[in-house]
Amino acid sequence: MIEELEALEPFRDEVRRWCAEHVPPNWRTEQAGADHHQFAAFHRWWGTRLREAGYFAPHWPAEWGGGFSLLQQVVLGQEFARADAPRNGLYQVALYNAGPSIIHAGTDEQKARFLPGILDGTVWCQGFSEPNAGSDLAGLQTRAVRDGDHYIVTGQKVWTSLAMEAEYCILLVRTDPTAPKRKGISYLLMDMKSPGVETRPIRQATGQAEFCEMFLDEVAIPVENRLGAENDGWNVTQATLSSERGAVLVELAERLLRNGTLALAEATKGWTNDEGQVASQDPAVQEILGARYAESMALRQLLNTMVTNVIRRGGVGPEASVVKLFYSELLQRIMKDAAGIAGPSAQNAQPALMSAGWESGAWLYDYINAFGWTIGGGTSEIMRNIIGERVLGLPRDPEPKGA
């Protein structure tokens, strides 16, 4: 893959020049402590800049505003990380979950109706998890009863990121309560302005309220907004989750290396222990930094292998679960180490910086926030099951009766 990337140096130079001209140099200072409305306003502005450059949805097909090769997407992720560009967090679900699912399973009419809006900046959220259906997503209980040309939906969703800003929601519902768990689920596209939709922010340990509970009280959703066949939503969902665990991890891993591992190494040059010794000169700290750097480079190599496999065979395979598991747990280790090495100074309250993702430089905040990555997008336990069964060929866990 190295040779192929070298052939893309002119493209890399083009992206690097664009970043130098358009990435706001003071965005971290200006966005520190921003509330959700300020965060959303900033990202709508940033999304417009990306659209103007053609970088908003590079992973989509060319007819829908993308058409970048996988290696071009790798270059984009690397250069955005190198330039410390803001993460495109407001549009994460729209671009990497809703859009790919509609492209994969939508009708021509659905594609024409929804995809242009996403490209123009429509914000989506994801209504998958429920209070009793998180890791066991197939156990969801939100009911959808067909009534003519509508489904009437009642239930509750939880951990719905940025639902307060979203205009649409990709929603999993149970349309056949008598079928085995994975056979009675349908995939709907819901207008968040529909009567009966209520969102309530959930305050997290970090003090932020990025997640929401979502209550659905007899919400009418047109049947024409169903993605795929009735009761076949589970299969559509697998494509959604594969996209979430796929190419987006390239940029996240590069940011973790630069804004996590390397930033921590730099920060230790200014920290001292109780004896006045500079942290970076402490052999124990040096050992930690060396280990985290080695792990960060191993993550990069895992991603290189994943990208190479995708190019050769097409489609993201189970190795994406290996990468997701390794990334999320490495993220936690780096932030835990940083908070520990920094000592009491890391306990000082610092304004949140949502636009930076999980590597804001507020080490204790980042450590607390990092736990979300071992849950969202599939828990570490689920990732280990996938790796055991689909990569190592171990026998599956026995299914509960009726699953």
Euclidean distance between CA atoms 280 and 300, whole angstroms: 24
Asked if 151 contacts 212 with a C-beta cutoff of 8 angstroms, the reply is: no
What does the DSSP 8-state code read for residue 179?
S
Specify whether the backbone of 228 is left (phi greater than 0), alpha (psi in -120 to 50) or beta.
left
* Distances in whole angstroms, Cα of residue 67 to Cα of each of 40, 41, 95, 111, 345: 27, 28, 14, 16, 46
Strands (E), 9-69: none
Per the annotation, the verdict on 224 as an active-site residue is no
- The terminus-to-terminus CA distance of the chain in angstroms comes to 42
Euclidean distance between CA atoms 56 and 239, whole angstroms: 20
The token pair that represents 336 in the structure block: 């835990």
- How big is the CA angle at 116 (ends 83 and 109), to the nearest 5 degrees? 145
Which of 244, 251, 254, 359 is an active site residue?
Answer: 244
Asked if 17 contacts 81 with a C-beta cutoff of 8 angstroms, the reply is: no
Question: Which among 200, 232, 183, 196 has a CA at the least distance from the CA of 403?
Answer: 183
Residue type at 71 in one-letter notation: L
By the 10 Å C-beta count (0-12 exposed, 13-18 middle, 19+ buried), 17 is classed as exposed
What does the DSSP 8-state code read for residue 212?
E
Asked if 206 contacts 368 with a C-beta cutoff of 8 angstroms, the reply is: yes
Return the half-sphere exposure (C-beta side, CA atoms, 13 A cut-off) of residue 255.
Answer: 24
Strands (E), 223-289: 226-227
Strand, coil or helix: 153: strand
Please, which residues have CB within 8 angstroms of residue 281's CB and are 6 or more apart in sequence?
Answer: none
> What distance lies between CA 91 and its chain's CA centroid?
10
Positions annotated as catalytic residues are 244
